[in-house]
């Protein structure tokens, strides 16, 4: 339960006790008692805190959700001019294929010496690859 509280409050959390969860039955050797236990506990504590620091880095660099970052990166090395409507249309495309569609559309436009990509150009590019 407190793990979820931790998530909500953005507090890192290590699990040290039941109530049990499937993750509390690791396949690897993870005792809590005796001397190997001291090592495991030290790792658990230290890793929880380290992740706490990484958490700040994640905020600075835009989080785990990298779709936004990829889109930005793609447009930075593109010399094509996308109209507002076309950009909006592109953003509707699911993130995992967005980059590919953008590259293919730009390739299509370049081959036809089009300097501006409109929604019409996008549909034409789509037609051209038979999709």
Partner 1 sequence: MKLAYWMYAGPAHIGTLRISSSFKNVHAIMHAPIGDDYFNVMRSMLERDRNFTPVTISSVDRNVLARGSQEKVVDNITRKDAEEHPDLIVLTPTCTSSILQEDLGNFVQRAQLDAKGDVMLADVNHYRYNELQAADRTLQQIVQYYIAKAKKKGELPIGKTANPSVNLIGISSLGFHNQHDCIELKRLMAELGIEVNAVIPEGASVHELKNLPQAWFNLVPYREIGLMSAQFLQEEFGMPFVDITPMGVVETARCIRKIQTTLNAQGANVDYESFIENQTLYVSQAAWFSRSIDCQNLTGKKAVVFGDNTHAAAMTKILAREMGIHVVMAGTYCKYDEKWFREQVSEYCDEVLISDDNGAIADAIARHRTLCHFWHTDGTPCG
Q: Within a 10 A sphere around the Cβ of 91, how many other Cβ atoms?
A: 11
Quick check: 29 binds partner 1 (CB under 8 A)? yes
Quick check: 15 binds partner 1 (CB under 8 A)? yes
Give the integer Cα–Cα distance in Å for 106 and 129. Answer: 13
Name residues contacting partner 1, limited to 92-121 (CB under 8 A): none
> Closest separation between CB of residue 56 and partner 1, Å?
11
Residue span binding partner 1 (CB under 8 A) among the ranges 36-44, 69-77, 84-92, 96-104: 36-44
Quick check: 21 binds partner 1 (CB under 8 A)? yes
Quick check: 58 binds partner 1 (CB under 8 A)? no
Size of the site for partner 1 (CB under 8 A): 42
Q: Determine contact, residues 78/116, Cβ cutoff 8 Å.
A: no
Quick check: 52 binds partner 1 (CB under 8 A)? yes
Residue span binding partner 1 (CB under 8 A) among the ranges 32-40, 60-68, 97-105, 120-128: 32-40
Radius of gyration of the chain (CA): 24
Residue linked to tokens 């495309």: 93
Give the integer Cα–Cα distance in Å for 23 and 11. Answer: 19
Quick check: 24 binds partner 1 (CB under 8 A)? yes
Q: Where are the alpha helices (DSSP H) in the chain?
A: 2-9, 34-60, 67-76, 84-92, 95-111, 119-128
Residues that bind partner 1 (CB under 8 A): 1-6, 9, 11-26, 29-39, 41-42, 44-46, 48-49, 52
């Amino acid at each position: 339960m407190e793990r979820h509280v931790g998530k909500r409050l953005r507090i890192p959390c290590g699990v040290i006790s039941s109530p049990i969860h499937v993750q509390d039955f690791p396949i690897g050797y993870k005792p809590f008692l005796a001397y190997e236990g001291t090592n495991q506990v030290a790792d658990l504590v230290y890793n929880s805190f380290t992740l706490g620091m990484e958490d700040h880095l994640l905020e600075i660099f835009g989080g785990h959700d990298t779709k936004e970052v990829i889109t930005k990166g793609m447009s930075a090395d593109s010399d094509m001019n996308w109209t507002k409507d076309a950009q909006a249309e592109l953003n509707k495309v699911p993130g995992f294929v967005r980059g590919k569609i953008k590259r293919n559309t730009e390739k299509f436009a370049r081959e036809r010496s089009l300097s501006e990509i409109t929604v019409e150009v996008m549909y034409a590019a789509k037609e051209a690859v038979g999709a």
